[in-house]
Amino acid sequence: MEGFEIVPMTPAHYPAVVALNKAWEHFTSPLSEEALAKLCDQACYKVVALADGEVAAFLIALREGQPYASPNYQWFGRHYQETADASGSSPAFLYIDRIVVGEACQGTGIGRAFYEDVFSVARGQHLDRVVCEVDAEPPNERSTRFHDNFGFAEIGRQWIYNDIKQVSLREKPL
C-alpha cells in the first residue's frame, strides 16, 4: 500500500464496507447493505479510506437525536439528556458508531486521520464532545489503547446482547 485517500462513502462503497464489517463483526455488530443504507441516512459523517483504489477502512458517526436502535447510542442520548436537564448543559454529541480498518492497513495512520477529521467536523458543528464505545468484555485491547491515546475517558459501562458483551462508554471532550 502506497497511501490512502479519505472520501465520502457512497452506495457504490456499500458492498466493500459490509464485507469489511463482516471481517470485524466480533468487535462491531452485523451489518447488511440495507441496514448500512439506513444507518448512512441517519449519519452526519460517513467516509471510507481508499488504498490502491479499494475500500481499506470506513467510519460512520451520528449526531444525537437520531432514531438509531443501537443500545450504546441510546445510552449516550439518555446520559446527555439527563446531564443537560440537571445542569442546563447541551445534550449534543457526535457518536462514532463504528470504525473498521482492514488488517493490511492497520498501523498506517488511517484511524488517526479519520479521528482527526471527525474532531474537526465536531468542532465545526460547535460540539463539546465526541463519544464512542470500546469492548471491555471480551476486551479489545488495541481499540482501548487507540482511544486512550486520543484522550477518550470512560464515563460508563453496560452489558449488551443478552449480557454477552460489556462495553466501555467513552467521551472525548473537545
Mean pLDDT of 125-140: 95
Q: What is the pTM of this model?
A: 0.94
Domain 5-173 sits in CATH at: 3.40.630.30
The pLDDT score that the predictor gives to residue 161 is: 86
Strands 94-101 and 129-137 come out as parallel
- pLDDT at residue 1 above 60? no
Average pLDDT, the chain: 94
Q: Where are the beta strands (DSSP E) in 64-164?
A: 94-101, 129-137, 153-160
Residue 60, H or E segment: strand 54-63
Q: What is the largest CA-CA distance in the chain?
A: 50
- 19-75 per-position pLDDT tens digit: 999 998 878 888 999 999 999 999 999 999 999 999 999 999 999 999 999 999 999
- 150-164 per-position pLDDT tens digit: 999 999 999 998 899
Q: CA torsion angle for 172, 78, 142, 29 (degrees, to 10)?
A: -140
For 81, the grid coordinates are: 439528556
Domain regions of the chain by residue span = 5-173
